């Protein structure tokens, strides 16, 4: 992973959410990660699927590789990009974004893609839970802030 130490310009150095957004929080990076979850893909395949400009795709792929979210390997004349373990760990984040979008970004009956398990069943709704299994919301949690040194 690229430098994550004190010299790095983080939006909010002590906040895991801010650091995550600094690394993968723009539209294109998350869509690249989403598409990489379907398996390894070349630059050309990603560009075709996403409709993204070459320079933007090149920049985002470089950043995702530099930060250990994607790896690249030669496949014939082309390089193939695939998720690392760190990238695969974003699956829950992508599912959470998808489920939020299903609830809040579509009108009733509007067509949309579906995420299913291997048997074609819908994925269960993600909800944070406490150590005892109690459902948690922002109303019953708090962030313990630290001061940057």
Whether residue 149 has pLDDT greater than 70: no
Distance CA 72, CA 66 (A): 10
Give the pLDDT of residue 77. 83
Give the three-state DSSP class for 41. strand
Structure tokens at 17: 């959410």
User: What is the reported pLDDT for 44?
Assistant: 95
Name residue, tokens 């996403």.
Answer: 50
pLDDT at position 69 is: 97
pLDDT tens digit string along 8-50? 688 988 899 999 999 999 999 999 999 999 999 999 999 999 9
pLDDT at 2 over 60: no
pTM, entire model: 0.85
Provide the residue ranges of all domains of the chain, joining segments of one domain with +: 1-111
* pLDDT above 80 for 64: yes
Residue 119's alpha-carbon distances to 37, 87, 109, 111, 114, in angstroms, are 18, 24, 24, 21, 13
Predicted confidence (pLDDT) at residue 136 exceeds the cutoff of 90: yes
Indicate the fold that domain 1-111 takes in CATH.
Arc Repressor Mutant, subunit A (1.10.10)
pLDDT in tens, 70-106: 999 988 888 899 999 999 999 999 999 999 999 999 9
């Amino acid at each position: 992973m690229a430098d994550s130490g004190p010299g790095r310009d983080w939006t909010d150095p002590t906040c895991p959410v801010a650091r995550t957004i600094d690394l993968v929080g723009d539209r294109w990076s998350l869509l690249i990660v989403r598409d990489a979850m379907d398996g390894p893909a070349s630059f050309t395949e990603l560009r075709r699927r996403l409709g993204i400009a070459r320079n933007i795709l090149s920049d985002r792929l470089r950043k995702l590789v530099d930060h250990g979210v994607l790896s690249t390997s030669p496949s014939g004349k082309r390089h193939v990009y695939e998720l690392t373990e760190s990238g695969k760990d974003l699956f829950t984040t992508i599912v959470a974004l998808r489920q939020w979008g299903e609830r809040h970004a579509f009108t009733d009956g509007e067509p949309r893609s579906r995420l299913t398990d291997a048997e074609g069943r819908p994925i269960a709704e993600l909800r944070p839970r406490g150590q005892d299994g109690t459902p948690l919301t922002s109303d019953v949690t708090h962030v313990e802030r630290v001061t940057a040194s």
